[in-house]
Structure formats: structure tokens, C-alpha cells
Structure 1
Amino acid sequence: MIRVVIAEDHHIVREGLRVLLERTGEIEIVGEADDGEKALRLIKRLRPDVALIDIVMPAFNGNQLLVKLKELNLPTIPIVLSMYSEPEVVREALKNGARGYLLKSSVFQELMIAIRACLNNETYLSPAISQLLVEDYITEKESLSRSLTPRESELLQLIVKGYKNREIAERMMIALKTVENHRANIMKKLNVTNTAELIVTAVKEGIVKLDE
């Protein structure tokens, strides 16, 4: 049997989850909590296989609970079940240790798939969440690229190819001081502090292609 604790502040949601999960014959609900503090105490005492965690709860929220569980290095696998699909919310939960993230609008079968996947040491995201994260990444990358002027993009390409400031000035037929100013602006826009970070970011984010 898979032992589960439910951390959810809405009684009707907890009740529905308990009934559906126990009906599978694979799940035993060993504890329920309506706030983060109670959930933490239950998880520390009962050591369930899985904790289903809502993001918004009283006492302390789901993210604070995730951080505590991560700090304590407990064997319980945290899976977030939330109504929030914003990419920044999902990323924060994953950073804080969530192994899975599902929307409350998901069908019940998906929850069982997520539990089995996470118990198999996999990370599970609702398909809708995965799509939103991909779209957000693409938008962020395009926005980053568009923030550079054509002149800055040309100069960045030369930096990635290994040209020094003086060589760039000669190739672009501009003053050395202008190269330095462009370089400083590019680093500020890409939020980096040195040349190594600048090159890695430019290539990793697809702003510059190495074969160009």
C-alpha cells in the first residue's frame, strides 16, 4: 500500500481525495492536515510515502512546507496539487523540492499516474503545466533576444567567437570606447557580470548560434 498524507485546507477537497484514493485499493490515507504546520508534524511522525500538498494554506503555505521537508531530508515524496498554473509559481515549487505538480482541474487518473511516476523517482508535471513552462521559456528567450539592438547582437556574436575589444572595434569600424559601452549594455541586459557568463548565456538562451 502507498501511504499518503493530504495537506489541504479545504475539507471538501480532502474528503473527495481520500474517497477517490482509497477506492483504488493501492492507497492508504494515513493523515490529513488543514495547514502547513500540522502537515509537517504529521509527515515527521508518520513518514508517509507521498504528501499531497496545496500551495495556499494557513500557518505556513505549501512552499514553506516544501522547504521544511527538503531541509529535513525526509523520505516522503511531495506532490503539489494546486489551482495555480503560473510558471513562476510552478518553478518555485519545483525549486523547493516538489517532485510533481498537478492542477486541481486534472482528472483523477492523472493523479494516480503522477503518484506512481514520482514513486519511481521521476518528476511529473500536468501536461498543461509543461506546455505553459515551454511557452514561458520561449517567450522569455525571445524577449531577451529582442532586448538587444542589431548592433549589440552583431557585437555579441563577435564576443562569442572570441574576438577582443580592439579586434571588434576594427571589424565593426567603431571606436574602442563604443565597443566597451556596447559590451557593458549587453551584460546589463543579459544580467551577467563577466565574459564567461555572457558567452554561456548567449549560447544557452539561443541568442547567438555558434555556427553563424
Structure 2
Amino acid sequence: MIRVMVVDDHNLVRQGIEAILEKAHDMELVGSAEDGQQALDVMARVPADVVVADIAMPRLNGIQMMRGMAKSGSQARVVILSMYSDETLVRQALKCGACGYLLKSSVTEELLLAVRAAYRGKVYISPEVSRAVLDDFPTASSGGSNFAERLTSREGQVLQLVAEGHSNTEIGNILSLSAKTVEKHRATMMKKLGASDLPSLIRIAMKHRLIFPED
């Protein structure tokens, strides 16, 4: 049986995915989570073979979750199920180790195919995703303007929470940091991304898909 976890911040979407997986004869739903951080916490206790995850989530998005999985040594494979199809995001996901990328408009059978492919160590990309992304992917990291790589995992977490409107104190409480440390992270991120103030930091981060608007 393929042990599968579902990660999505929208209850109805998550429950719908779970219902599809539970009907598959060769899959077992072993866990679910509302965001990337919760997913990492669950994975530390419950082993999963494949994780079906959204990208745009609060606290820790799908890209950041995959980086956290790599850091923790998780062997679970990830299939991204997202409403976003732009090349930058697909490349980021593949580079972080995603074994599949589907749009939320995909049909049920396509999701099951992607999960089975990921379990076998194969990569499944939705036909709806631009072919140019796959053609260009091997050389996509050759340039020096990959904004995602400029930030550490912790900075990415802080950035996501800043974009959600949390204060330094609130972010500190969520991430177990002092407000002063959070402020230092904000200053470092502004310098790394060339932002002059908080609004420009958010604009740059959204442009380069480092954070996501509420969907």
C-alpha cells in the first residue's frame, strides 16, 4: 500500500483529495495537515511514502515544506497540486525535489497516476503545464538571479508570515524567536532582495513567487 499524506489549507479541497485517495485500492491515507509546518510535524511521527501538497499555504508554503523535508532527511516524495501553472513556480518545485506537478483542475485519475508514479520514483507533470518548463528545466538554474536561493529557510518562513500581516512579536511567538531577531531577518531579506521598504519587499517576493496571495 502507498502511504499518502495530504497538505492543503482549504478544508473542502483537502477533504476532497482525501476522498479520492481513500477510494484507491492501493493507497492508504496516513495523515493530513493544513500547512507546511504542520505537515513536517506530522511527518516526524507518521511515515508517508507520498505527500500531496498545495504550494500557497500559510506559515510554511509547499516550497518551504520541501526544503524542510530535505533538511530532516525525509524520504517521502512530493506531488504538488496547485492552482498556479507559471514556469517560475513549476521550476522551483521541481528543483526542490517534487516528483509531480498537477493543476487543481486535473481529473481524479491523473492525481492517482501522479501518486503512483512518485511512489515508483518517477516524475509526473500535468499536460496542462507548459512544455517549455520541462524543456528548459535542466538549464533553468544556470543563471544567477534565482531569488528563492538568496533566502535561508528561516528567512522564507519570516517572509511568509510578514506577508500575512503578522507583527514581529507575533512572528517571534510562532517561530520561537525574539522580536529583535525577527527584525534582523526582515532587514537582511530587504538587503538580499534589494527592497527599500516593507511594501517593496512584499512586491518583489510576490513577483518572484517567494510568497503567495490568499487564494
Shorter-chain TM-score range = 0.5 to 0.7
Q: Which residue of 2 aligns with 1:122?
A: 122
**DSSP 3-state at the match of 1:105:** coil
Q: Which residue of 2 aligns with 1:133?
A: 133
**DSSP 3-state at the match of 2:3:** strand
Distance of 1:119 and 1:23 partners within structure 2: 17
Distance of 1:66 and 1:27 partners within structure 2: 22
Corresponding letter in the other structure for 1:97? G
Q: Does the 8 Å contact 1:66/1:97 carry over to 2?
A: yes
Equivalent residues in 2 for 1:151-166, closer than 5 Å: none
**DSSP 3-state at the match of 2:55:** coil
Equivalent residues in 2 for 1:130-209, closer than 5 Å: 130-133=130-133
Residue 50 and residue 135 in structure 1: after superposition, are their counterparts in 2 closer, same or farther (change >3 A)? closer
Does residue 45 of the first structure (1) align with residue 45 of the second (2)?
yes
**DSSP 3-state at the match of 1:47:** coil
- Larger RCO (alpha carbons 8 Å, 6+ apart): 2
Percent identity over the alignment is: 43
Tell me the CA shift for residue 98 of structure 1. 0.9
Q: Which has the higher helix share?
A: 1
Distance of 2:97 and 2:17 partners within structure 1: 22
Tell me the CA shift for residue 131 of structure 1. 2.2
**Structure with larger Rg:** 1
* Structure 2: gaps of 5 or more residues: 141-215
Number of residue pairs matched by the alignment: 138
TM-score (structure 1 length as normaliser): 0.61
* Structure 1: gaps of 5 or more residues: 141-212
Distance of 1:122 and 1:130 partners within structure 2: 19
**DSSP 3-state at the match of 1:97:** coil
Q: Which residue of 2 aligns with 1:9?
A: 9
Distance of 1:134 and 1:69 partners within structure 2: 23
Corresponding letter in the other structure for 2:30? V
Does residue 106 of the first structure (1) align with residue 106 of the second (2)?
yes
Tell me the CA shift for residue 82 of structure 1. 0.5
Tell me the CA shift for residue 132 of structure 1. 4.6
Q: Which residue of 1 aligns with 2:178?
A: none
Tell me the CA shift for residue 71 of structure 1. 1.7
Q: Does the 8 Å contact 1:87/1:136 carry over to 2?
A: no
Q: Which residue of 2 aligns with 1:183?
A: none
What's the CA shift string for 1:70-93, capped at 9, x where partnerless? 122211111111010000000001
Q: Which residue of 2 aligns with 1:85?
A: 85
Corresponding letter in the other structure for 1:5? M
What's the CA shift string for 1:122-180, capped at 9, x where partnerless? 1111112152525878xx9xxxxxxxxxxxxxxxxxxxxxxxxxxxxxxxxxxxxxxxx
Cα RMSD (Å): 1.8
